[in-house]
Structure 1
Amino acid sequence: MTATTDPDLHLAGALLAAEAARYAALGWMRGTSGNLSVVLDRDPLRLAVTASGLDKGELGPEDVVLVDGAGAALSPGTPSAEAALHARIAAVSGAGAVVHVHSHAPVAAAERWPSGIPLRDLEMLKGFGRAAHGDEVVVPVVANSQDMRELGEAFEAGFRPDTPALVVARHGTYAWGADLAQARHRLECLDWLTHFTLTTAPGTATP
């Protein structure tokens, strides 16, 4: 495979900026939180990751950093501190894109179901490629850590190829797919599913 070129990185930056603006408008990337990535090369693994510390609603094509399979920068700029976890998810799952946002419902659901969020008999599960009936999906939940290696090991220990999402307790959600559009669709479905599950669980008052 040919090496990644600057035009590749610029195009990836434009795609990531557009996706980040969409999530920021939903309130899922408040402040400078969250990060997105796309895989540019597989062998060796190379990803374009949104730069750290920037308002995700105001990114431009230049606000992206090329990183290696360990999340280390290969181009100017500072990648998200979570770039290593993006790389681990892409390597293990085979995903072409990984998105990380701070939407409320999945994190709140992880607080209630810290061993994994159970989802069943809901039409929106089709968005995960799962059956709408009789197919229990348990979204993994892992404890938060500032050590990306620790988070990566926790992700890999609970990884299931048919469940393309992970919730980091009291932190945020990761979802992945073949490309940014599929990752977004899965994230949107997860937000709906966890909101429904939370608000209809026994003993939960409907807001």
Structure 2
Amino acid sequence: MHTFPEQAEAVIALAKFCSDKGWLPATSGNLSVKAQAEPLRVAITRSGADKQRLVPADILLIDEDMQVMGDTAYKPSAETSVHIELYRKFNCGSIVHVHTVFNNLMSELYASEGQIEISGHELLKALGHWDEHARIAIPIVPNHADLDELGRAVADAAQAEVPAVLVRAHGIYAWGDTPDAARRHLEAVEFLCEYLYRLRLIGGMSDVRK
């Protein structure tokens, strides 16, 4: 069983990976690793932290009611409710939330459809879909200002077979059984968002949606 300091380091490693990709501009985004299942305990980034320069004190241990455990003046990320709802639904091991240009563009372009359909692409294997004709639909939800409402919307739209949800003009939540799995799922969906956007620019979008 991992200790909280080890889980805090896992959160920092996730943040470094995403920051190196340019996926956590300014102080945006939030990342977490489940520290304990019963009762639920989560290691999560604090509110306002620069994810490119995280130190262990920037990672908080919280309970299922989003109360910080331990002595600190910091508060958890404002979007902690989304993480808690996803942990409750899937009992997953880690959640990453980043803001990028391509996931924002795709969420805007397909907002009216409520999802982005993708089929026949090699990177679907990274999401657990190995069939040659695999097809998935990544949900898109509105960017609710009420964060409790946002948490419920993301969890309601989330599907076990598609470990990611886009929030319109906001960002993406991706999750997995481990921090490595969450990172893999995020990286795959980010690649697909960029690929489909660039394909759309050259007029080839209809080809991949057949």
Structure 2 counterpart SS, 1:162:
coil
Task: Report the TM-score, using the length of structure 2 for normalisation.
Answer: 0.89
**Large movers: runs of 4+ above 6 Å:** none
Residue 69 of structure 1 deviates from its aligned partner by 1.6
What residue in structure 1 maps to residue 25 of structure 2? 30
What residue in structure 2 maps to residue 18 of structure 1? 13
**Residue 83 (1) aligns with residue 84 (2):** no
Contact 2:104 2:170 in 1 (8 A): yes
What residue in structure 2 maps to residue 124 of structure 1? 123
Once the two structures are overlaid, the 10-residue window that deviates more, 109-118 or 71-80, is: 71-80
Counterparts of 2:26 and 2:103 in 1: how far apart (Å)? 19
**Residue 199 (1) aligns with residue 198 (2):** yes
What residue in structure 2 maps to residue 94 of structure 1? 91
Structure 2 counterpart SS, 1:150:
helix
Deviations 1:14-41 (A, max 9, x none): 2211221221121100111111001111
Counterparts of 2:80 and 2:123 in 1: how far apart (Å)? 29
Structure 2 residue identity aligned to 1:66: L
What residue in structure 2 maps to residue 162 of structure 1? 161
Contact 1:122 1:132 in 2 (8 A): no
Deviations 1:142-173 (A, max 9, x none): 00023222112212322211010011111011
Contact 1:12 1:61 in 2 (8 A): no
What residue in structure 1 maps to residue 208 of structure 2? none
Structure 2 counterpart SS, 1:146:
coil
Task: Report the TM-score, using the length of structure 1 for normalisation.
Answer: 0.90
Residue 87 of structure 1 deviates from its aligned partner by 1.1
Deviations 1:84-132 (A, max 9, x none): 1111111101210000011221221111111101111100000100135
Counterparts of 1:159 and 1:31 in 2: how far apart (Å)? 27
Structure 2 counterpart SS, 1:109:
helix
Instruction: Give me the CA root mean square deviation.
Output: 2.0
Structure 2 counterpart SS, 1:28:
coil
Correspondence for 1:59 among 50, 54, 64: 54
Structure 2 counterpart SS, 1:140:
strand
Contact 2:82 2:152 in 1 (8 A): no
More helix by share: 2
Residue 203 of structure 1 deviates from its aligned partner by 6.4
Correspondence for 1:46 among 36, 41, 47: 41
Percent identity between the two aligned chains: 31
Structure 2 counterpart SS, 1:57:
helix
How many residues align structurally?
201
What residue in structure 2 maps to residue 147 of structure 1? 146
Structure 2 counterpart SS, 1:161:
coil
